[in-house]
Structure 1
Amino acid sequence: MLIGIFSLLLFVLTLYYLQIWWKDKQLPPGPIGLPLVGYLPFLGRNPALTYWKLSQKYGPVFSIRIGSNTMVILNSKEAIIQAFSKQARLTADRPYNPVLLEMSRDKSISMTSGQRWKTGRTLAMKFFKNFNKQMIEQIITEESEYLCNALRETGSKPMKDHTLFAKVVINVTCSMLIGTRFSYDDQGLGRLLSYTSQLSDEYDGDILGILLIAPFVRHLPFFKQSYKKLLQGVVIIEAEMDKIIKEHRQSYDKNYSRDYVDFILKELKSSSTLNDKDLIEDQDNYIQTAFDLIVAATDTTSSTLRWCLLALIIYPECQKKISDEIYDVMGSSGKIEMKHQDRMPYTRAFIQEILRYQSPVPLAIAHNTTGEVNIVGFKIPRNTMIVPNLWGSQRDPAIFQNPDEFQPERFIDSDGQFVNNENFVSFCIGNRHCVGEQIARMQLFIFITNIVQKFKICASKNETLPSFNEGVFSIGYSPHDFAVEFHQK
């Protein structure tokens, strides 16, 4: 009896691995991993770096197996363009990932495919296109004043808790999407942070990074508790969103749209440009995408702000150049506006170099092919997971000279003007390009310039700074914790 069961199990496993072998045989060559877990044990704390190193051996496009999932990694800008721009129609879908689906409650426009994704993205893009840019700038500028007041209250003492920077980004996003700004000690803001802070936390962030790459480990005891904690945070946030949606329905005025939720409610009632049946059936899901946008913006933008602060400490010459540029344009107390950025090329170059050097989402989110595609000479079959290594493509020495050195000057031309290098792809490209890129850039410019205008940013004398070349890999990429002092000028 036992021999029969063992023989059957061996037969099933043999068929399973033959199926994997046959599919892998059709894909670009790549490293060989271990049985069951694949290459997972060798990914390290920064899989994007590991993939980039592997590309030196296997080429810009290679396949790799993690657990039972085989994926194709794109490590060059050319490969990313061919996949997501030139063949966008066949590469826009998402692969099945139970962790992302459970975390988003299957309501996220970032994680879905097909008509629901198309409708959700159309709505989001229409909203941001029609939202008054001057109003967005006003929201960010007002929040920067609250931020600077909070920094003054630190009294130049070391600040290691960086949730303040997540709070300012949440407030900007919430002001646009749900018409609400929270005080920094508000309990509602605390509940939002209880979830978003896990995405870049020293421990939970690393765990989530592994869960996203290898969803099967969520069932293992070591990962199970952290995963449960993440899902509990989702339930809390969803309850908050349900309450906000209910309030908006009760106070809705068709003649005055306050925010994204009102915009969606108006679209639901008019449906002049979208499919009526589609909107009616999924109306709560489309409204809940506000939560998706809040989480995505908070994790990536606040992490980038922290990278900026760390760079300003590690490279004091950068801080001085930005400070001098601000003084030349606005003086020590003038109000900084987006219109001034054309006169501040070094500041723009500094932010651009941060985004290149520390890509906000190093591996983006995996795509899935809906038909055969050709990427730099390789035929990739239908239903194949493809992952763009944005971090690696920005470290390509064929595109950026001395890519492992932090050099804002690479984005300044011989006339001293800022140049937006066409090889820059940190916000990805194609149909899944980040819809909030411009708002993120506005926040980075206004927040950083206001902080540098009013404060000298210093390391704490009693703390050791983390490496600028190592971070916490999760959905995004954030620096390790560090203490910082803000000395008022």
Structure 2
Amino acid sequence: MWIELFDYTNVLAILAASIFWFSLRRKPQNFPPGPRGLPFVGYIPFMEKNPAETFMKLKEKYGSVVSVQFGQEDWVILNDYDTISEAFVKQGQKFSGRPYNLYFELITKGRGFLTMDYGSTWKDLSKFGHATLKEMGMGKKRMETNVNEELRFLIESLTSSNGESIRMKLNLAVSNMVCRIALGSRLEYHESKFKHMIETFMKQSEDTSHSHMLFAVSLAPFLRFIPPFSNVVKITSEEAECLMAYLREFVEEHESNFDDSDIRDFIDAFLNEMKKRGKDDDAFNKIQLIRYVRDIFHAGSVTTSGTLTWGLLALVCYPKYQEKIAGEVLATLGEEGVPSMEHRDKMPYTSAFIQELIRLKTSAPLGVFHKNNEETNINGYTIPINTTIVPNIWAVHYDTKYFENPREFRPERFLDSDEKFCRSNHVIPFSIGLRHCMGEQLARMELFVFLTGIIQKLKVLPDPVKPLPSFYDGAFCMGTYEPPHFDVVFERR
């Protein structure tokens, strides 16, 4: 009994000391203002389902630059376009680091391009990535041909009854574009290894308790030691290892028949660079290659397929928009024409629809977190070195300064008085600055070609048996804004 009482007293003492320490804790001098949280967890208990909404509301009280505590760290949230541009563009080199994040650590094991800190290794890999993707056809007619070829397989898949969700069908198609770039060829939708890879990526972004607990662990890493969070961490780590094993097989297959006079794809190009540089290069080695390919798959599939899924839901929820786009598509392409990025100027309403879609349904509301590599200043506040910086892209897209009634889905806002498409610099789903998404051109091509191609061939109609969810029923899961599950009927035009 005395031992139990002693243990209980110790727990109370530790808790009291922690609360006392928290009460004395002060933010750095001249640090951005923000709300206080609770001991250990900080502001986590006060977060809404969509953290970007929580941060956006804090702007009303504290301004565009807000500090929020998560666990034992103070993060800085950038809540409008001007502050994001100031940090990522005007002071790009200072703000292009990557903070430690347990979730990223679980899936990359400290390697990979997407989560790598800013420095010479990242610069080498970035330069290589941009050059190689361009060489592989990014933004060129050759890539457009590949997208149209995949479109035919996608339409066949959408009109089949194979039990797969709309999101899975779209994800397989989008991921196959990554396969063409990274592996040199597409994979069959029914190939078991390919499907398991995509299912693993999707699991991390689905609206489930698993993804919500994983997000909580990424905010407060100490939770990884506490059930059931510890089990989620274990499962995520094991799934990451399985995914790496699949990609290792692809890399080793390329190694077995590598020919430096015939560079077929991204893996070959990387192997060729490894050969040129020799062993023990920090940037170009086999482990880094596997992680890089993993990053390309993840970044190049989840967000684009999510946006396409939102697009199909919009088409069936707003049939007048669907018919208006169909009129443009058929007037420009006819029934057998091949969609091309060159057709965008002839399809202003379609272009406006897509831009409104990526604004309202921001695929990554908080982008990818940054950190500053040196002490710096923004909006008059001092930001200590190695502070986590969060760009609230959602807040930019919902800023009434740029968008009237921003919560309305209204493609017409991007048409001028002559019904011509007006691109907005304040729609930034791919972020801005040195670390903006290098796959932006491909993603924009996929959105335009896949959507116009689907509408050219198919009508998207409500399922007469299963009611549609609201177009505004989204969920924030592990950094992405996910559409609800729904079923529709695809009917040939």
User: Do both proteins adopt the same fold according to a TM-score greater than 0.5, normalized to the shorter chain?
Assistant: yes
- Alpha-carbon displacement from aligned partner over 1:292-340 (angstroms, at most 9, x marks no partner): 1101111111111111111111111211111000011011222212221
Residue 93 of structure 2 aligns to a residue whose secondary structure is helix
Does 2:203 match 1:198? yes
CA–CA distance in 2 between the matches of 1:14 and 1:280?
44
Match of residue 140, structure 1, among 140, 147, 153: 147
Farther off after superposition, 160-169 or 136-145: 160-169
Alignment partner, residue 82 of structure 1: 86
CA–CA distance in 2 between the matches of 1:16 and 1:92?
32
Residue 128 of structure 1 aligns to a residue whose secondary structure is helix
CA–CA distance in 1 between the matches of 2:195 and 2:19?
51
Alignment partner, residue 343 of structure 1: 346
Displacement, 1:200?
2.4
Please tell me whether the aligned partners of residues 346 and 409 of structure 1 are also in contact (alpha carbons under 8 angstroms). yes
Does 2:237 match 1:231? yes
Alignment partner, residue 158 of structure 2: 151
Match of residue 228, structure 2, among 190, 212, 222: 222
Please tell me whether the aligned partners of residues 178 and 290 of structure 1 are also in contact (alpha carbons under 8 angstroms). no
Please tell me whether the aligned partners of residues 172 and 189 of structure 2 are also in contact (alpha carbons under 8 angstroms). yes
CA–CA distance in 1 between the matches of 2:20 and 2:260?
60
Cα RMSD over matched residues? 2.4
Match of residue 422, structure 1, among 413, 421, 425: 425
CA–CA distance in 1 between the matches of 2:61 and 2:16?
35
Alignment partner, residue 358 of structure 2: 355
TM-score by structure 2 length? 0.92
Give the 5 Å matches for 1:284-295: 284-295=287-298
Displacement, 1:187?
0.9
Please tell me whether the aligned partners of residues 64 and 80 of structure 2 are also in contact (alpha carbons under 8 angstroms). yes
Residue 466 of structure 2 aligns to a residue whose secondary structure is coil
Q: Which 4+ stretches in 1 moved above 4 angstroms?
A: 1-12, 157-161
TM-score by structure 1 length? 0.93
Give the 5 Å matches for 1:367-386: 367-386=370-389
Q: Could you say if the C-alpha distance between residues 6 and 199 of structure 1 is closer, same or farther in structure 2, counting changes exceeding 3 Å? A: closer
Displacement, 1:279?
5.0
Does 2:168 match 1:163? yes
Q: Which amino acid aligns with 2:482?
A: S
Residue 429 of structure 1 aligns to a residue whose secondary structure is coil
Q: Percent identity between the aligned chains?
A: 35
Farther off after superposition, 333-342 or 37-46: 333-342
Residue 88 of structure 1 aligns to a residue whose secondary structure is coil
Does 2:179 match 1:185? no
Residue 122 of structure 2 aligns to a residue whose secondary structure is helix
Farther off after superposition, 276-285 or 49-58: 276-285
Q: Could you say if the C-alpha distance between residues 7 and 213 of structure 1 is closer, same or farther in structure 2, counting changes exceeding 3 Å? A: closer
CA–CA distance in 1 between the matches of 2:164 and 2:188?
19
Match of residue 97, structure 2, among 93, 96, 101: 93
Match of residue 450, structure 2, among 442, 447, 450: 447
CA–CA distance in 2 between the matches of 1:278 and 1:127?
19
Match of residue 130, structure 1, among 121, 128, 135: 135
CA–CA distance in 1 between the matches of 2:490 and 2:185?
28
Query: Which consecutive residues of structure 2, in runs of 5 or more, have no partner in the other structure?
Result: none
Q: Could you say if the C-alpha distance between residues 14 and 26 of structure 1 is closer, same or farther in structure 2, counting changes exceeding 3 Å? A: farther
CA–CA distance in 1 between the matches of 2:465 and 2:214?
31
Q: Which amino acid aligns with 1:471?
A: G
Displacement, 1:124?
1.0
- Alpha-carbon displacement from aligned partner over 1:348-405 (angstroms, at most 9, x marks no partner): 1111111111112110121111222222222222221110000111100011122111
Farther off after superposition, 331-340 or 143-152: 331-340
Farther off after superposition, 98-107 or 299-308: 98-107
Aligned residues: 483
Residue 475 of structure 2 aligns to a residue whose secondary structure is strand
Query: Which consecutive residues of structure 1, in runs of 5 or more, have no partner in the other structure?
Result: none
Alignment partner, residue 248 of structure 1: 254
Q: Could you say if the C-alpha distance between residues 392 and 7 of structure 1 is closer, same or farther in structure 2, counting changes exceeding 3 Å? A: closer
Farther off after superposition, 359-368 or 376-385: 376-385
Does 2:42 match 1:38? yes
Q: Which amino acid aligns with 1:63?
A: S
Please tell me whether the aligned partners of residues 202 and 481 of structure 1 are also in contact (alpha carbons under 8 angstroms). no
Please tell me whether the aligned partners of residues 124 and 283 of structure 2 are also in contact (alpha carbons under 8 angstroms). no
Farther off after superposition, 445-454 or 337-346: 337-346
Farther off after superposition, 158-167 or 196-205: 158-167
Q: Could you say if the C-alpha distance between residues 270 and 359 of structure 1 is closer, same or farther in structure 2, counting changes exceeding 3 Å? A: same
Please tell me whether the aligned partners of residues 274 and 284 of structure 2 are also in contact (alpha carbons under 8 angstroms). no
Please tell me whether the aligned partners of residues 199 and 205 of structure 1 are also in contact (alpha carbons under 8 angstroms). yes
